[in-house]
Amino acid sequence: MTTTEKKPLEKVCIICAKGSIEDVYAALVMANGAVMEGIETKLFFTFFGLDAITKKQMKHLHTATVGNPAMRMPGGLPFPTLLGAIPFVESGVSAMMRSQMAKLDIPDVEEFLEMITAGGGEIFACKLAADMFKLEKEDLHEEVKDIITVGQFYELAEGDRTQIIFT
């Protein structure tokens, strides 16, 4: 094999560290796409990303309205950051985001987790973050395989055809 010949990607390890709708869905979509392409997939949730796999939080994810330069109002105008500070605005924007996703038939978080594991992907929680937030395995969705350390996650990422993606 020549040095210019491409080697196929065999494994992807995706780290989700943020709990906003857009960050969680970025990780879920990428993981599901990898599984569908036959790529070995490991998904690691840490810090606020744990909200996506915590039973009490996973159905209540929000989209950030304050400090989000990409946030737009209908018609494409920039969303004024000050509006995000008004009570219930973030909840309303998040509800609109979920509504738009439902119209596009995008699966909810639980369904995505089930699809990923059904396709052979594995889902893990970060031990450090779980300890910080006082979470136990029973607090997490059933599709979470285990709570592991960062070192254990890196062991799962072994291989010369592995890509680690941080969302």
Q: What is the mean pLDDT of the chain?
A: 90
pLDDT at 84 over 90: no
Query: Residues 156-165, buried b or exposed e (16+ Cβ, 10 A)?
Result: bbeeeebeee
β-pairing verdict for 122-126 and 162-166: unpaired
3-class DSSP assignment, residue 139: helix
Task: Indicate the SS3 state at residue 40.
Answer: strand
Tokens of 78: 């920039």
Per-residue confidence at 90, pLDDT binned at 50, 70, 90?
A: confident
- Which domains does the chain possess? 16-166 (3.40.1260.10)
